[in-house]
Structure 1
Amino acid sequence: MSDTVEFKATLSRYLKARIPFISIRSAERSRVLELLREVSVELQAPIYVHTLSQGTRELGSNRTVNDDRSVTGAVDFASQQFPQRQNLSVVLTEVSDIEDDTPAARHLLDVVMLAAENSGCVVVITTKPVFGQLQRAGMSLVLSAPSEDEMLAIVQENLAAYRGHIPIEWDAADERRAAAALAGVSRIEAENIIATLLANGRISKADMIEVMHAKDRIFADISGIERVNVRGTELNVGGLGGLKAWLDKEQPLLTADLRERGIRPPRGVLLVGVPGCGKSLSAKAIAANWGLPLYRLDLSTIHGQYLGQSETRLKDALSTADHVAPCVLWIDEIEKGLAGAGSSSDGGTATRLVGQFLYWLQEARSRVFVVATANDVSRLPPELLRRGRFDELFFVDLPTAPERREIIDIYAHRGLKQGVPEALLQELVELSDGFAGSDLESAVREVVKEAYLNGDTAVTAELFRRSFNNVVPLSKTAPEQIESIRAWGRERAVPASGQPIGTAAPQSRARRQVLV
């Protein structure tokens, strides 16, 4: 049973039982009214609806019954009608100031009591909570956004009218992917997105990317998470073969219908390891390669000065991520945002944030792929590392010699528009032993700067050697820190490169392997 079918059945039972007050939490007023109209026909019971633009009218015939367009006028009209008509339901669509104990809430509660005495019903459509004493006089319902199956029907319904008139390349599988991408938006928002595509005069396979990004424009102004623009041409990550193979295996599952199998879509990865080795770049590359919008959740900005403010901000941010799904959610240096869990210095705020985030990470079923990165593994809450939170925990080590070759070649082609001669490339690979990916980028960048300032003829083998020799990597300035990080990773993580962690690490120390 879909959410909408269940909502309609429950609403019908409430109206049959003559519950005196029903609050419906939804931002889709037209969709709620359509369902109410269907229920009124089935029950053959009169329903009056008030809107600010049309006053009070009968839902079935659209006949005006009260010209007063104010909410107060509608409530007064309802109080007059309930003693005169049995089994009357009145729907208020624009009522306000009923979240707390206000005169408006008290006035409405008095009318609800009058409705209870005459088998009447007051229905309120709202997006906000309702005053507790008023809510306890009745029942509440929530109309969720259309499910994937319902969204599929919406997509098919909107495309059916144009098939045979304009070229439509989408097949059944494309329609299912579009429905999965649009899950979380309202019916009218989905119809607007499809109408925008139809306005081009054709529906092509390439339009699927536009569908993926369409929700970004709907939720662009919602605070809590930041939209990150990525350019795929600049996001070729060298090395990390083990991580790439795992991601290739998981990608089809993100938009697949897995309900019959009883499993959830891929939840994400936690990338830990040596600073500057491509963890943050990997998050951008995943979004670019998968054709998904990338959002960044900065946990450090979540913290507020008032009690409960931090938790509310995190809840709103995660809820926004659920709405814009499918997407990639990037949490950079997650250990900083969740540090302090278990201590009392902040009144327990960090502990509550960890609990709230982990609950969402494990229980949410939205198609949000989380890429979290961490440098200081000692500050990670132990609960974050338990199986079932992230799908996999990868350790990003200093690049091996083949990976350094690949990374140097990528940066050289990007900045110099040409490769490095084989003999020189091999020499640079040897010179860069112990370099992180950021060190390699820095060394090649100096050569690119020289080429820009003095022309490509200024690029010589000696310039490359001098640039690489000028870099002092972290592995030389803080070798103890690198080895400490590696020791942690050998016991707990899968090597992102597919090779044992640490050049001196014996094969047996890489205890975990990921199946690809």
Structure 2
Amino acid sequence: MSRYLEAHRDLDSFVAARVPLVGVRTVEPLRAVRLLREVAGSARRAGLPFWLHTRAAGLRDLRTNTQVQDDRSLVAAMDFAAGQLSRRAQATIVFVEPEDLTTDSPAARHLAELARLADARSGSIVLITDTPLWSGLQRLGMSITLDLPDAAEMYDIVADFLAEQQGAVDIEWTEADARRAAEFLVGVPEGTAINVLATMAASGRLHRDDVARLAEFKDKHFGDLAGLERVHVAPADNQLGGLTTLRAWLQRRHQVMLADLSGTRLRPPRGVLLVGVPGCGKSLSAKAVAAQWQMPLYRLDFATILGMYVGQSEARLREALEMAERMAPCVLWIDEIEKGLAGQHDSTGVSRRLVGQFLYWLQESKSRVFVVATCNDVRSLPPELLRKGRFDELFFVDLPDATDRAEIIRLYHRRYLGTEADGGLLARLVDLSDGFAGSDIESAMNEVGIEVMLHDGQSALTASFVIDTFVNIIPLSRTHPEQIAEIRDWGRERAVPAGAAVATPTPDGGSRRRVLVPGDA
């Protein structure tokens, strides 16, 4: 059942029970008014009066929209309600966004008196607001929440819009495109979704490529998001060297991310946790996923989440995760997650509460938010975060082997020099870069590119200069060999290799994991 139908069911039962005060919490007052008109339009309520007050239109008949009185003020509407409730039974008066109802204010007390009068005459006062009601009002009745349209309801909205435009607009969208468009629009109000679709259709044609553009409209609609940073992905971020197993796994998950799961019990992919050696492509993987999947990328920064007051950090994290769900489908990048969720030595208990809150969301959320979390010091993470079922998979990103280093060198040679690497030089650079992380290779190729630019062209590029540049790079595996060795020992036994997986002998004569991706011959 959609959220709208659930709200309709609850509101219908409250009106039938003559609950004296009904609070409807929503950010879409027009949608709530439509809901009330449907409830009031029931045949069994044909003889019952329903009135509606808004600031712009004043007091009107809910069904016919006929003006009731010239004075449009809230005070005049409440006086009218008091008179009607005193003279007749089973009257319903709806107030849309009346002011100052969150605290013990004169308006809140006046409406509370109306609710008591309605209770004596089997009437109802309905308050449509986007803020919480004062507790003195809440105690007098019941409340419902009219949430934003979910995927099923949004698909109906998109389908109805497309049906209305048939003949006037050249529509290339298939049913699958319409469902994908609905997924992109989940999290925005119904009116905004229709405005976005109308804007795109104003050109007289809806292209299939327009579906991906919906993410841009959605991003502009939300603007600055609390706790989330919009990361703009460059075209070059689409390229990722090495990490062949991870790339194949992500490709299969992308198919699930795009699939229509409404007729199944499957849930969208949760995400992936990348642990391993610093500088080997964990953060770059998040950007590559967003670029290849054509989804917006948001970065969750725990430094902006943590607050100084009790409960502030938890509230900020909850708000950030809720906003991520509203931006779905999207990629949520949590860089160095151990810095925000470690907390073994946190005497305040904040980190432990954040862990519990994040894990609950990760376990229960049904939104298409794909989490890419990276971690350098996996030993500081709480064990429950590593349990199977939290993330879809735990990958270990190791130092690239010779094959991966060759691919990475070719990639950055094209990016910074605009040419393909010479075969003989490439083999030499692969040998020299043994122990390099991907960031070390990029740094070396960037230095070569700068030298070529300063000397105005490829004529300055000599094999000896490129080789010397690689020789002068001192990778982390040499400056901190013990730390890197400890990270690699942990990851080889406890996580899926992100690169080409090769069995590695262990001291007991066995071998570590070799992972085969289904369909990967």
For normalisation by structure 2, the TM-score amounts to 0.95
- Structure 1 counterpart of 2:422: 421
1:355-366 residue pairs with structure 2 within 5 A?
Answer: 355-366=356-367
Contact 1:235 1:281 in 2 (8 A): no
Name the aligned partner's letter for residue 410 of structure 1.
Answer: L
1:226 and 1:296 in contact (8 A); partners too: yes
Between 176-185 and 244-253, report the one with greater CA deviation. Answer: 176-185
Please name the residue that 2:37 is paired with.
37
* C-alpha distance in 2 between matches for 1:206 and 1:259: 23
Say whether residues 1:284 and 2:287 are aligned partners.
yes
8 Å CA contact 1:486–1:502 kept in 2: the answer is: no
State the match for 1:313 in structure 2: 316
1:170 counterpart SS class: coil
Please give the secondary structure, in 2, of the residue aligned with 1:65.
Answer: coil
Matched letter for residue 510 of structure 1: R
Compute the displacement of 1:92 (Å): 1.1
* Contact kept in structure 2, 1:66 and 1:77, CA below 8 Å: no
State how far apart, in whole Å, the 2-side matches of 1:130 and 1:196 are: 36
Distance 1:512 1:137, change over 3 A: farther
State the AA in 1 paired with 2:142.
M
Q: Residue 508 of structure 1: CA displacement? A: 4.7
Of residues 363-372 and 179-188 in structure 1, the stretch that sits farther from structure 2 once superposed is: 179-188
**2:496 aligned partner, one-letter code:** V
2:211 to 200, 208, 217: 208
Gaps of 5+ in 1: none
CA contact (8 A) 2:237 2:291 kept: no
Greater mean deviation of Cα atoms: 239-248 or 142-151: 142-151
Q: Which residue of 1 aligns with 2:17?
A: 17
Tell me the CA shift for residue 335 of structure 1. 0.4
Counterpart of 2:459, as a letter, is: T
In the alignment, the residues of structure 2 paired with residue 7 and residue 319 of structure 1 have an alpha-carbon distance, to the nearest angstrom, of 20
Name the structure 2 match of 1:224.
Answer: 227
Aligned residues: 514
Change (3 A) 1:316 1:256: same
Shift of residue 492 of structure 1?
Answer: 1.8
Q: What is the rounded CA distance, in whole Å, between the counterparts of 1:216 and 1:96 in structure 2?
A: 30
Is 1:232–1:289's contact at 8 Å kept on the other side of the alignment?
A: no
1:209-245 alpha-carbon deviations (Å, 9 max, x no partner)? 1023321111122322111100123431100000011
Q: Residues 145-181 of structure 1: CA distance to partner in whole angstroms, max 9, x if unpaired?
A: 2222221221122122332333211111111111122
Where does residue 403 of structure 1 map in the other structure?
404
For structure 2, list consecutive stretches of 5 or more residues without a partner in the other structure.
Answer: none
C-alpha change, 1:503 and 1:93, in structure 2 (3 Å) is farther
- Corresponding residue of 2:164: 161
Query: Contact 1:54/1:69 (CA < 8 Å) preserved in 2?
Result: yes
Structure 1 window deviating more from structure 2 (189-198 vs 127-136): it is 127-136
* Equivalence for 1:369: 370
Structure 1 residues 64 and 164, CA gap change in structure 2 (3 angstroms) = closer
1:58 and 2:56 aligned: no
Mapped to 2, the partners of 1:414 and 1:503 lie a distance apart of 37
Question: Counterpart of 1:14 in structure 2: which amino acid?
Answer: F
Identity %: 51
* 1:154 to 1:259, Cα distance in 2 relative to 1, 3 A: closer
Distance 2:387 2:75 in 1: 55
The one-letter code matched in structure 2 to 1:68 is D
For residue 195 of structure 1, what is the aligned residue in structure 2?
A: 198
Deviation at 1:80, TM superposition (A): 2.2
Measure, in 2, the Cα distance between the counterparts of 1:500 and 1:108.
72
The C-alpha deviation readout for 1:26-52, integer Å capped at 9, x for no partner, is: 111111111111111112232111111
Q: Distance in 1 between matches of 2:130 and 2:89?
A: 29
Q: CA deviation at 1:512?
A: 6.6
1:107 to 105, 110, 125: 110
Distance between the aligned counterparts of 1:206 and 1:69, measured in 2? 47
The CA distance in 2 between the partners of 1:507 and 1:245, in whole Å, is 30
TM-score, normalised to structure 1, is 0.96
Is 1:19–1:121's contact at 8 Å kept on the other side of the alignment? yes
Residue 175 and residue 285 in structure 1: after superposition, are their counterparts in 2 closer, same or farther (change >3 A)?
same
Paired with 2:449 and 2:148, the residues of 1 have a C-alpha distance of 51
State the Cα distance separating 1:510 from its structure 2 match.
2.8
- Distance in 2, matches of 1:195 and 1:393, equals 43
Q: Report what 2:492 is aligned to.
A: 490
Q: Secondary structure at the match of 2:171?
A: coil
Distance 2:41 2:72 in 1: 25
Q: Is the 8 A contact 2:504 2:512 kept in 1?
A: no
Partner of 2:97: helix, strand, or coil? coil
Partner of 1:472: 474
- Identify the range of structure 1 (362-371 vs 9-18) with the bigger mean alpha-carbon deviation: 9-18
SS in 2 for 1:64: coil
Q: SS at the partner of 1:223?
A: coil
The letter of the residue matching 1:92 is F
SS in 2 for 1:125: strand
Post-superposition CA distance 1:292-340 (Å, at most 9, x none) = 0000110121011111111111111111000010000001001001121
Q: Is the 8 A contact 2:503 2:514 kept in 1?
A: no
Q: Is residue 463 of structure 1 aligned with residue 465 of structure 2? A: yes
1:17–1:420 CA distance, 2 compared to 1 (3 A) = same
Using the TM superposition, give the Cα deviation of residue 405 of structure 1 relative to its aligned residue in structure 2, in angstroms.
Answer: 0.4
